[in-house]
Amino acid sequence: MRIIEKYLETLYEKSLELNHRNIFSLLEKNQNAFFLDLGCDDGKSALKIAETIDTKNIYGVDIVDERIELAKKNGVTVKKFDLNFKFEFDDDYFDVIVADQTIEHLYNLDNFISEIYRILKPSGYVIVSKENASSWCNIFANTMGWQSFSSTNISDKKQGIGNPLALHRNEVMSLKSWKHLSVCSILGIKELFEMYGLKFIKLKGAGYFPLSGSFGNIDKTHSHFIVFKFVKETNY
């Protein structure tokens, strides 16, 4: 069992790296861009994204005090608030917004998406990365009568509930904000964002367990990680 766990863990890490490359491939150069990272953690990823965009205007939002302090030390202008409620930014403020592995931790997706629309400038874009409810490994888990791999973080006490192959199974859930509350499919995310005036531009995939993660960009519908790019429509 440990050999299988190690193999899956390695595949997961490589697929996550590919997912990050997919995010970066959708960014556009703009020295004057105002960039916001929703769920910025320690700010390291935000700095790399800003470097790719070529901007110094770096903002972030998080809810964990310790991670916020680290992000501030790393040079990110950070605000603390709950993304399930109104965002503490002005209308039409940002050119670029990235939400990497954030949306699944929220319960009020209507607020999250409508607020993204509100604070984006006309023709600004948002990149959203998340786990896919319809990945083959999630379908397999459901067929076995297990929790899908993307919905095992349902307890404040332990990780990996209900799935014997889940990574970090039975490890302590150190942060309540890590719980997965909204695990969606590709069509679900696409229709939600379009409903709020954000036009779908592109989709990329990564992760195709138990095969190489690169297959995820061939069969995106069943890839484990998905990255969307949406643009704010001005006639909404």
CATH number at residue 62: 3.40.50.150
Q: For residue 26, is it within any domain?
A: yes
pTM, to two decimals = 0.93
Q: Is the dihedral of CA 156, 152, 20, 84 positive or negative?
A: negative
61: confidence class by pLDDT, cuts 50, 70, 90: very high
Q: For residue 222, is it within any domain?
A: yes
What is the mean predicted confidence (pLDDT) over 9-15? 89
What's the domain count of the chain? 1
Q: Measure the CA–CA gap between 23 and 14, rounded to whole angstroms.
A: 14
Q: For residue 157, is it within any domain?
A: no
Q: For residue 34, is it within any domain?
A: yes
| Residue range(s) defining the domain that contains residue 19 | 2-138+181-232
Mean pLDDT, all residues of the chain: 93
